[in-house]
Amino acid sequence: MKKIKYLIAIPALFALFISCNDEFMDRAPLDKISDANYWKSANDLKLYVNNLYSRNDLLAREDGWGSIGPYGWDADNGSDTEVRYYYEGRMNGEGTIPDDGSGWGNGDWEALRDINYFMDHYKTVEELTSFDAVKQYVGEALFFRSIFYFNKLRRYGNLPWTSVTVTTSSDVLFGERLPRNQVVDSIMADLDNAVNYLPNRSGWTGRITKETAMALQARIALYEGTWEKYHADDAFKAAVNQSAKFLEKAAKVSGDLIALEEAGGYPGLDGVGAEFGYRDLFNQENHANSKEVLFWRKYEAGAINSIWDRYSANGAGRGATKNLMDSYLKTDGQPVAPGYNDATLLDLATGRDPRLAQTIQINDGKHFRWEKATPPVYFIAPSFDGWDSEESCPTGYQIYKGHNFRYADARASGQGLQALIYFRYGETLLIYAEAKAELGTINQSDLDKSINKLRDRVGMPHLTTGVAVDPNFEFAGLSPIIQAVRRERKVELACEGFRVDDIMRWAAAGELIVDKIPVGAKLAQWTNFKFDDYLPEATPDLSRQKVFDERVSALAADADGYIKIFKNTLNGGTQGFKFNVNRDYLYPIPTNQLTLNPKLGQNPGW
């Protein structure tokens, strides 16, 4: 059998509430599978589950956008830390109720039916063999069902739950949605079983392992625990608040992963003490020997390819914000003072947490665009000259994290090989610290086995429980230790696709999004910028200069000289985002689905 190249998915969506179409409901869930000739051997189960690995609605997009983190295309667009060259309408309160589709249409539930069809039929093989022969594939199916439901939960909150194949007469098609934490209870039960059924990793196989299932379980438990805690008094609250239960589960499962490291050395962190250890975690084509990357996606030229490394040298149409830059501590572990010197990229990076300069491009003669060119091509200036396209960086803080520079030039279409990370142990360490901090039980030992391991990788001073109040803290009502843990998560997971979810689960749009106008770097550093001041004499091509100058002159700056990213497109340039905190934390249920089943109910504010 051909080796699997589809190396795990991220939370997808939930697929049930279709238009009661008999033809859809009665069809075979996977092409060319006949029950009369199938379900004979464990290999049949393996082949069936392989189809789940290859589903784009369970896995990230095949084009690999946003290829350094688990949530794919534009996952952080509209957050306070990363933006595209256009603003995100959801963050500006521009959402409308769709007629149909939008994550709740016929095809959006197909993956769930395929998974449940497997769960209804695997016992036929078990009876012919044994549970030991089938349990790995059952664990994989449960893992995928958990991913599927988690994505639905993130989008819609309360959900109907089904663990069996739905037919046109199934009650679930016409029932109410279940409370969100009841759905998460079912997800946790699925993942408890998956953890028990799946093998520990022993060499890279391209299949889901026990450690991957634990990482997913910790991620979901933290999400729900913090959602219920911080939405406890708004329209999005759980019917019965079970925040502590889920936070305890997140701490337990992430702690169990840490115990695995302490006992056997896997999982662990890569690149500890290496000069560019953090950078090089994200720019690889193969993570088979990684201790940190628990699950990832491999690309093969001409077969399944990423397009990220076609555009990452030129900004990929996105950029980090000043808000993110301000969150990096100084190398002594202290926060930057208001008004610190960030006049140039070099000034910005001087004396700061090394993760800053390994996350964005700095024109210091060390940051590659293309290492194998003759001579090597280094980053000189942000790609403003691409303007409103994937060949641009709108903020001046061009993302370096995840750029694979080990070529002479950009990969051609169909040749991209940048690996896509879905789960890494570094996230699990942050989950442990956050869950313990939210429970109010965190101690120095907890910090030393989690956040301080991440700091050791880049040589930063340790975090202690005696955190001083910091003028840069973002949440006035929270304890210093919770704020410090959140800041560490913001920095360590920067530009990996987690920030929008964090804002939503913390009910933090009011503090971080509403009325905020995101800005980029200081504009003045490029108003008289000359490429020939940086290019070697052997490289006379200065064709960028004219276009670059035109683009820079068209940029706008705010009163403090920072690039006004959206210029006049965001509410005329005079007002910040208009996220509706009474509505926009969840998406609406489409109108047609409410017509078919009024018991679904609409989400708050819509």
Give the tens place of pLDDT for each residue, 523-545: 999 999 998 888 766 565 567 88
Higher pLDDT residue, 167 or 480? 480
Residue 12 has pLDDT above 60, yes or no: no
Contacts of residue 488, defined as CB under 8 A and 6 or more positions apart, other chains included, come to 430, 433, 451, 454, 463
Cis amide bond preceding 598, omega within 30: no
CA 27/CA 21 separation, integer angstroms: 10
Cis amide bond preceding 375, omega within 30: yes
Q: What is the DSSP string of 48-77?
A: HHHHHHT-TTTB--TT-TTTTSTT-TTTTT
Domain residues of the chain, as ranges?
A: 299-418+519-564
Residue 295 has pLDDT above 70, yes or no: yes
Confidence of residue 290 (pLDDT cuts 50, 70, 90): very high
Residue pointed to by tokens 């880049």: 458
pLDDT at 603: 98
Composition of the chain by helix, strand, coil, percent to 5? 40, 5, 55
Query: What is the mean pLDDT of the segment spanning 454-473?
Result: 94
What rounded mean pLDDT belongs to the chain? 90
The Cβ-side half-sphere exposure at 509, using a 13 Å CA radius, reads 23
CA 31/CA 480 separation, integer angstroms: 54
Give the tens place of pLDDT for each residue, 401-434: 999 999 999 888 778 888 999 999 999 999 999 9
Residue 28 has pLDDT above 60, yes or no: no
Confidence of residue 472 (pLDDT cuts 50, 70, 90): confident
According to DSSP, residue 573 is labeled G
Query: What is the mean pLDDT of the segment spanning 272-282?
Result: 96
Query: What is the mean pLDDT of the segment spanning 322-328?
Result: 97
201-210, 216-225, 411-420, 557-566: range with lowest mean pLDDT: 411-420
- What letters, b where the CB count within 10 A reaches 16 and e where it falls short, cover 509-527? beebbbebbbbbbbbebbe
Higher pLDDT residue, 28 or 55? 55
Helices 210-230 and 180-197: crossing angle in degrees, nearest 10, is 160
pLDDT at 105: 85
pLDDT at 130: 97
Asked if residues 431 and 446 have their Cβ atoms less than 8 Å apart, the reply is no
Q: What is the DSSP string of 334-359?
A: PPPPTT---SSHHHHHTTB-HHHHTT
Residue 457 has pLDDT above 70, yes or no: yes
Give the tens place of pLDDT for each residue, 240-264: 999 999 999 999 999 999 999 999 9
232-236, 280-284, 535-539: range with lowest mean pLDDT: 535-539
CA 57/CA 407 separation, integer angstroms: 31
Amino acid at 370: W
CA 529/CA 538 separation, integer angstroms: 20
pLDDT at 29: 52
CA 75/CA 594 separation, integer angstroms: 28
pLDDT above 70 covers what percent of the chain?
Answer: 91
Confidence of residue 465 (pLDDT cuts 50, 70, 90): very high
Residue 148 has pLDDT above 50, yes or no: yes
